[in-house]
């Protein structure tokens, strides 16, 4: 989770597929992490 948070802060907008590639994880885990990050207000798809 900390690695995902750091990626979001470094890259701004991130996606589930971005997390999958960078962290070498599957879709279900990446989707869960994205949900947690969005709840915290960090990065995420569709934010402007």
**pLDDT digits over 16-40, tens only?**
999 999 999 999 999 999 999 999 8
Nearest to 27 by CA among 36, 39, 15: 15
Task: Give the predicted TM-score (pTM) of the model.
Answer: 0.79
Q: Total structural domains in the chain? A: 1
Domain extent for 35:
2-40
Let me know if residue 12 belongs to a domain: yes
**What count of other Cβ atoms lies within 10 Å of the Cβ of residue 8?**
21
The pLDDT score that the predictor gives to residue 19 is: 96
Structure confidence at residue 12 as a pLDDT band (50, 70, 90): confident
Let me know if residue 23 belongs to a domain: yes
Let me know if residue 15 belongs to a domain: yes
* Residue 12 vs residue 20, higher pLDDT: 20
Residue 47 has pLDDT above 60, yes or no: no
Let me know if residue 46 belongs to a domain: no
């Amino acid at each position: 989770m900390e690695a995902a948070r750091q990626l979001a802060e470094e890259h701004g907008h991130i996606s589930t597929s971005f997390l999958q590639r960078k962290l070498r994880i599957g879709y279900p885990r990446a989707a869960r992490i994205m949900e947690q990050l969005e709840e915290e207000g960090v990065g995420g798809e569709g934010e402007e």
